[in-house]
Amino acid sequence: MKRIAQIRVLALATVSAGIVCAPLLQAQEDPTLDATRRVFGYIGPGFRAVRRGPDGSYYVLAPPPPPPAAPVKSFTASKVPPPPSPAVLIFDSRGKELRHIPAQTRPGEVVSPSALDLDTSGRVYIADQSANSVSVYTASGTLVAHFLVPEPTQIVALPHDQFAVCSANADRLIAVYDLQGKLLREFGEMEDLSDDPELNHRLNAGHLAGDKAGNLYFAFRYLPEPTVRKYDSASGLLLDELSLTTLDLQPMAQSARQEIARADSGKPVNPHEIISAFGMDPETQEFWLALGNLLIHFDNADNITASNRIYTTYAIRMVPNSILVEKDHLLLSNDPLGIYEFARSSASVHRSE
């Protein structure tokens, strides 16, 4: 079933055609949501994702802080390459660093991780796009599985020792594998946005999330109309689709389509990112979309319940690339600004019929 949202988002009432080329502008009447604090202080540049494990620890996909510079003993001293950095840093609820994954870093094991997730047993799944691989670790950092997966950009752990990925060069949006690396099924029709196959794959990139029932949610990053699909991970059946097509969003969509048309005419392309981040409450199936620094909250019936402009604790405009939904708050993250905590409740939005 496809739902076309006919809800007026107040915070987009002043959107103009230039909104995508420049930062989303704050209108005077826009409600704001300010961060309550910054967490995991040194996490910033290079951040990719944050998840919470079943033990309550936080798993952060980001590089550690650089070590202090060693004194130079001589100009002729040979340079020793630094050891490989861990891919995932684990913190307790107070922000104390506990350990890292891999427990013993080895050259070539994790090259350039792009996404991570955890299953209910605490196993950690790391998608490594540059290495065309997925690695699975125990919570203590021991490697338990490693196999080839073409250019994985997103990953979600599923029940029954399976996981789902999005790949940069696949002809379907989602693929499901088992822990032996066997491809079980692929599903999700791509949108036809460009005649250039390579560009069309790029424009069909998205954010992937799951819920406790085993459903998968795919939010298109570049589709001109903000769109989220819900799939049954076991069968690949499309269960629902939400597409925001209100008058408020039309200038943004038009600008995005003009940029795609430029690419089809052979000109350099810089696709307009529409949905910068997507977060799902796995228990209630509520979700949050970030359109630039505008954060929109939906209930589990696809109704918009709140819309806010978001700012850090220092009133810096924030465009999140990751949203972690907690029971009492949200963790919104940005590279290079870092990870910030926000209240889960926010200002309501008036809706027009």
pLDDT tens digits, one per residue of 272-329: 999 999 999 999 999 999 999 999 999 999 999 999 999 999 999 999 999 999 999 9
Collect all residues with Cβ–Cβ distance below 8 Å to 97 and sequence separation of at least 6.
89, 90, 91
Superfamily of domain 2-63+84-343: TolB, C-terminal domain (2.120.10.30)
Binned at pLDDT 50, 70 and 90, residue 65 comes out as confident
Measured CA to CA, the distance from residue 9 to residue 15 in angstroms comes to 10
Do residues 128 and 168 lie in contact, with contact meaning Cβ atoms separated by under 8 Å? no
Percent of the chain topping pLDDT 70: 84
Domain ranges of the chain: 2-63+84-343
Confidence tier at 268 by pLDDT (50, 70, 90): confident
Q: Which residue has the higher pLDDT, 351 or 156?
A: 156
Q: Which amino acid is at 197?
A: P
The pLDDT tens digits of the residues spanning 68-112 come to 665 655 545 456 555 567 889 999 999 999 999 998 878 878 888
What is the per-residue burial (b if ≥16 Cβ within 10 Å, else e) of 38-48?
Answer: bbbeebbeebb
Question: Rounded to 5 degrees, what are φ and ψ at 100?
Answer: -145, 165
User: Measured between alpha carbons, how far is 75 from 113 in angstroms, rounded to an integer?
Assistant: 35
Instruction: Name which of 20-29, 114-123, 141-150 the model is least confident about.
Output: 20-29
Distance of CA 270 to CAs 15, 339, 345, Å? Answer: 20, 27, 34
Residue 264 to residue 280: CA distance in whole angstroms: 34
- pLDDT average, residue stretch 152-162: 97
Instruction: Enumerate long-range contacts of 160-163, CB under 8 Å, 24 or more apart.
Output: 162/233, 163/117, 163/119, 163/125, 163/134
> Which region among 6-15, 241-250, 283-292, 296-305 has the lowest average model confidence (pLDDT)?
6-15
Which strand (E) or helix (H) includes residue 203?
Answer: helix 197-203
Q: How, if at all, do strands 183-187 and 37-39 pair? A: unpaired
Return the bridge partners of 38, or none.
340
